């Protein structure tokens, strides 16, 4: 565990984290059949929008596709750290 943080600190690759992200994208992609690029952009946009209202852990936001009775649902799951009191204006997004 310590090694992992050290690696991150000194900027060495954390291939486990990369693998998990790739995997999550791949699974959504497999079910939706949209390109990786689109998904990564969608992911980023969702993070941006939610961040305007809530403090979220950007790393652990998850996109998921659930299929039920011929319908697909896009499920966004993110832990919320806190609500923002003052909503930053749209332009001034972090």
- Give the binding site for another protein (CB under 8 A): 1, 3-4, 7-8, 14-17, 19-20, 22-24, 26-27, 30, 67
Bridge partners of 74, per DSSP, are 65
Q: How far is the CB of 89 from another protein (least distance, A)?
A: 35
Minimum distance from residue 40 beta carbon to another protein (Å): 16
Local structure of 56: helix, strand or coil: strand
Question: Kind and range of the H or E element at 75?
Answer: strand 71-77
Q: How far is the CB of 86 from another protein (least distance, A)?
A: 34
> With respect to another protein, which residue has the nearer C-beta, 23 or 74?
23
Nearer to another protein, 26 or 49 (CB): 26
Q: C-beta of 77: minimal distance to another protein in Å?
A: 11
Residue closer to another protein by CB (options 7, 58) is 7
CA 63 to chain centre: 7
Strand partners, 65: 74
Helical (H) or strand (E) element with 76 = strand 71-77
Q: φ and ψ at 54, to 5 degrees?
A: -130, 150
């Amino acid at each position: 565990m310590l090694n992992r943080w050290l690696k991150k600190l000194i900027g060495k690759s954390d291939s486990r984290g990369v693998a998990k992200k790739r995997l999550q994208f791949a699974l959504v992609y497999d079910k939706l059949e949209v390109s990786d690029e689109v998904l990564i952009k969608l992911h980023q946009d969702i993070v941006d929008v939610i961040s305007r209202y809530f403090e979220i852990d950007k790393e652990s936001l998850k996109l998921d596709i659930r299929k039920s009775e011929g319908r697909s649902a896009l499920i966004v799951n993110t832990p919320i750290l806190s609500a923002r009191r003052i909503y930053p204006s749209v332009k001034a997004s972090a």
